Amino acid sequence: MKHKKALFLPEIGHPREMSYGDDARNFVISLMDELSVSQNERSIMLGEVDELPERFRAKRERLRSLGVRISESCDGDNTLLLEVPNDIKLDFPIFLLEVSLCAIRPNRSIKIKVGKDAMASFVLGSPVPALYAINPVISKLDVEVEAASTVRLAMLHSYLNQMEFSSSSRIKIGNGATVEASILTLKAGHILRVDGDVEVAENGFFRLSETSLLEDDNLKASWVHVKLTGPNARAELSSSDFNFDSSSARTAFFVEVMAGAHGAAGSIFSSGINFSENATQLFLPGLITHEDDVDLHHGASSGKWTTEQVEYLRTRGLSLHDIAILLVDSILSASMYPLLTDRLVEYTKRYVARIFRGRRISF
């Protein structure tokens, strides 16, 4: 049985009926052609192995030639496993939609293992807005990073209004390793729930930057708990929420210094602006320590801009919409865009601008 959903394409400007089933792959390929995305920029893979376009087959083979192990189960536990061996340093991001044979299947489990003194970047999801209905629904993400390695994660959530989506993540960071994670939520869907557990060992570092732009009746609820388990472990968590209409963002960040983690440091910061009187935001920071010689602090910035701030920017030729877009763009330029190709950055910026288009902005 095929299930149809109406899919609104901002770039094209009219609804389209799509179906999940035998014609899903052909639909996606034709859609990407209509959006004028060049073959080497496509960030989605559907179909069986003998149907793989040459580009994706070449991408998998390139990774394997570098020693990256890729294994996948399309049924049963429905898991995609990627393993980067010791000392391998990849200078290009791995788009999981390019290497997965079963991207359209729901309830994916993603496991990423990075060996010692390695470097890798991973992109989960797609910022191309027309594809949010068929991004893989990742229900579980498991990341293990061994000593002295560096990993960057970009996680993109962009779904239809009536979808309810939840996922959980577990990240384990070894001695002296670094993980930088950026999460971008556009049109969260009816309900989006994301939770994460992170462990940071001695001299390890974890940085999380979460940004959401919610409209209509969207609800985003995030919960992240970071445990600093070794001496001089560090964590920096930041959340930026921009809400329209009756949307709601609920965020809880916790940093806990465990016994023996001398000299650990953690910071939590939140900022948010509601562009509508009916939008709501709730942020709960938690700093817990079982040691004395630690550095923990948090801060928050919320509410409307002052008239003086807005008028200053307007005298520089910016409209209220320009100011709002500039706010979002400045955050994404530092956290998300460095992981994406120029074409995908362009699509993300266009979609952000579309969300603001035609709306009454209130600072």
Contact 275, 242 (CB under 8 A): yes
Contact 124, 141 (CB under 8 A): yes
pLDDT of residue 354: 79
DSSP annotation string for 288-320: EES-SS-EEEEEEEESPPPHHHHHHHHTTT--H
- Which distant-in-sequence residues (6+ apart) come within 8 Å of 258 by Cβ? 227, 228, 229, 290, 291
Helix (H, G, I), strand (E, B) or coil at 191: strand
Please calculate the CA angle 323-183-238 and round it to the nearest 5 degrees: 70
27 Rama class: left (phi>0) / alpha (psi -120 to 50) / beta? alpha
pLDDT of residue 189: 62
pLDDT of residue 54: 61
Residue 115 DSSP one-character state: -
pLDDT of residue 37: 41
pLDDT of residue 346: 80
Structure tokens at 100: 């997965």
pLDDT of residue 272: 85
pLDDT of residue 133: 40
pLDDT of residue 345: 82
Residue 326 Cα to chain centre, angstroms: 20
Distance CA 226, CA 235 (A): 8
pLDDT of residue 32: 47
Residue 321, burial from CB neighbour count under 10 angstroms (0-12, 13-18, 19+): middle
Beta-bridge mates of residue 51? none
Contact 257, 268 (CB under 8 A): no
Residue 246 DSSP one-character state: T
**What pTM did the predictor assign?**
0.82
pLDDT in tens, 115-128: 999 999 998 875 55
pLDDT of residue 96: 77
Q: Over its length of 363 residues, how does the chain's per-residue pLDDT go in tens digits?
A: 334 333 333 333 344 444 444 454 555 555 445 443 444 433 333 333 334 456 567 778 889 999 999 988 866 677 889 999 999 999 888 887 677 766 555 567 889 999 999 999 998 875 554 444 444 456 789 999 999 999 999 887 765 545 566 778 999 999 999 999 999 887 756 777 889 999 999 999 999 999 998 887 888 889 999 999 999 999 999 999 988 888 899 999 999 999 999 999 999 999 888 888 888 888 999 999 999 999 999 988 766 666 777 788 888 888 888 888 888 888 889 888 888 777 778 878 887 887 887 777 766
DSSP annotation string for 27-65: HHHHHHHHTT--GGG-----S-GGG--HHHHHHHHHHHH
Please calculate the CA angle 192-193-196 and round it to the nearest 5 degrees: 140
pLDDT of residue 219: 86
Tell whether the torsion through CA atoms of 339, 131, 347 and 236 is positive or negative: negative
